[in-house]
Amino acid sequence: MTLQRGITLMAMLVTACVLIACSGTQSSPEAVAKAFVEAAYKGDADTIVKLVHIPGSAKAGEAELVEGKLRAKAAESKAKAEEQLGGFKSADVISAEISPRDPNLVQVRVRAIFKNSEKQENVRTIKVDGKWKVRL
């Protein structure tokens, strides 16, 4: 293999890895639901906002209102996880159920694991423009 061909192959590999990494959290309803639960209990409001679907039909100011509430809820969830449950450890997907009415709607059951206990969360997801998002 020539040096030029090796460099080209390496560049293609790096590009593929970057594309896969960038699309990873939106590749499946399970991945989105797990990332959402993890972000909620870690207080990662930026990730939560990115994962939640806010319809394009939202009236002026509604998107900002929803974002503000999501940020407040993230801080509240983190505080509860630390104070009452001993801190967040991890999350596992238990199951995913596709809606019989619409294959773009999936309800995912996620187990949130804390130092002192476990909790199950139901996360509703929706596929919008080829990407999975959390549906509130």
In a domain, 1, yes or no: no
In a domain, 13, yes or no: no
Number of domain units in the chain: 1
In a domain, 8, yes or no: no
- DSSP-derived secondary structure for 28-52: -HHHHHHHHHHHHHHT-HHHHHHHB
Q: Rounded to an integer, what distance in angstroms lies between the CA atom of residue 116 and that of residue 119?
A: 10
In a domain, 16, yes or no: no
Average of pLDDT values for 1-11? Answer: 48
The residue range of the domain holding 104 is 29-134
In a domain, 52, yes or no: yes
Q: What is the CATH number of the domain that holds 55?
A: 3.10.450.50
Residue 34 has pLDDT above 80, yes or no: yes
In a domain, 19, yes or no: no
Tokens of 63: 């998107």
Residue with tokens 């002026």: 60
Residue 14 has pLDDT above 80, yes or no: no
Residue 29 has pLDDT above 90, yes or no: yes
pTM for the predicted model, two decimal places: 0.78
Q: Rounded to an integer, what distance in angstroms lies between the CA atom of residue 8 and that of residue 15?
A: 11
In a domain, 22, yes or no: no
Ramachandran assignment for 84, one of left (phi > 0), alpha (psi -120 to 50 degrees), beta (any other): alpha
CB 116 within 8 A of CB 105: no
In a domain, 15, yes or no: no
